[in-house]
């Protein structure tokens, strides 16, 4: 009788371990949210589960970004339309994070606006006036799992600069 109980217990434990492994290998995002930072960058914080224990997981944050840059003079104004430009293009940030003991990753990635294509004349400085991010997607490239985020638009980042926005 004791032998039968031991065999049944071993079978139960084996089934439980197999079921636990099946659950642990079902990657999915629990949450993902974005924040526009004062410098115009976009940070996406996320949590993904079902990854298995101590796995290195690769991520990519991609978006289409549009940024408007202006030249600002010492008087705090954007003196001419020639000193304003809008640039657009894809942006990407990548990272690798460990799933740890609980089979989850909680992390964040940050993309920067596309760089300016203008130079300011002497006595003026380049400033980012506005930025927007569309088609924002976070992808677990190791397991081919993605989550889309809404669009982000900074509005005017230089409300005190005449002619900037």
Q: Taking 90 as the threshold, does the pLDDT of residue 42 lie above it?
A: yes
For 15-24, 34-43, 48-57, 93-102, which range has the lowest pLDDT when averaged over its residues? Answer: 15-24
Task: Give the span between the Cα atoms of 12 and 147, in whole angstroms.
Answer: 36
- Domains of the chain by residue range: 27-153
Grade residue 81 by pLDDT with cuts at 50, 70 and 90. Answer: low
At 82-135, the pLDDT tens digits run: 778 999 999 999 999 999 999 999 999 999 999 998 889 898 999 999 999 999
CATH of 27-153, one of 3.40.120, 2.60.40, 1.10.3210, 3.40.50: 2.60.40
Residue labelled with tokens 């949590």? 47
Burial 97-124 (b: 16+ CB within 10 A, else e): bebeeebbbeebbbbbbbebeeebeeeb
How far apart are the two ends of the chain, measured CA to CA in Å? 83
pLDDT value of position 111: 98
């Amino acid at each position: 009788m004791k032998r039968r109980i031991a065999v049944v217990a071993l079978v139960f434990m084996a089934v439980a371990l197999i079921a636990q492994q099946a659950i642990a290998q079902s990657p999915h995002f629990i949450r993902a949210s974005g924040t526009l930072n004062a410098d115009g960058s976009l940070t996406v914080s996320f949590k993904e589960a079902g990854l298995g224990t101590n796995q290195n997981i690769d991520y990519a944050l991609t978006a289409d970004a549009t940024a408007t840059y202006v030249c600002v003079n010492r008087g705090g104004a954007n003196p001419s339309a020639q000193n304003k430009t809008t640039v657009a293009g894809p942006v990407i940030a990548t990272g690798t994070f460990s799933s740890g003991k609980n089979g989850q990753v909680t992390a964040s990635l940050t993309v920067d606006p596309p760089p300016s294509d203008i130079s300011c004349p002497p006595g003026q400085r380049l400033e980012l006036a506005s930025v927007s991010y569309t088609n924002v997607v976070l992808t677990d490239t190791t397991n081919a799992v993605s989550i889309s985020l809404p669009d982000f638009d900074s509005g005017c980042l230089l409300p005190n600069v005449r002619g900037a926005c």
